Amino acid sequence: MDRRSACPGRRPAAGRPTTQSSQTQHYGSGFAVDNDPHSYWESANNAFPQWTQVDLGAVHALRRAVLTLPPNPAWGRRTQTVTIEGSANGQSFVPLAGAAGYVFDPATGNSATATLPGAQVRYVRLTFTGNTAWPAGQLSGLRLHT
């Protein structure tokens, strides 16, 4: 086990390399792990499913994922359908949290939390298949907790 995975509360995704299935304009997936609540990744419009992925650099036992959108009230309440998957090698992914509708509401911080099983993974992929307010996947922050 990676020694870092034994540190409760550590945020292993912060600043790590990302990839994505697509992006709109300059809204690349790196914005989801840059610790700036106002920047964000946005996938191509009208092209679900779309995904963003982070390489944690080492294996971690993940217990929780917090997904956020910018806190600006202009973002409005929305539900995004997201599946969270993990992989040890970046090739074969297994579900960590099945497809679920995550509610983002600026009145309550525009964040949603998923409980994860503690599986040992190096790569985390979020696949977006729906968004009630925009025809694309959107993510301002991905905070993973061990």
Mean pLDDT across the stretch 121-134? 98
Domain range for 31 = 3-145
**Token pair 């300059």 in the structure block, residue:** 26
Q: How far apart are CA 65 and CA 116, in angstroms?
A: 7
CATH number at residue 100: 2.60.120.260
Specify the number of domains making up the chain.
1
Position 7 confidence tier, pLDDT thresholds 50, 70, 90:
very low
Position 86 confidence tier, pLDDT thresholds 50, 70, 90:
very high
Q: Spell out where 24-140 has E strands.
A: 41-42, 50-61, 64-68, 78-87, 94-104, 111-115, 120-131, 138-139
Position 15 confidence tier, pLDDT thresholds 50, 70, 90:
confident
Q: Is the pLDDT assigned to residue 70 strictly greater than 90? A: yes
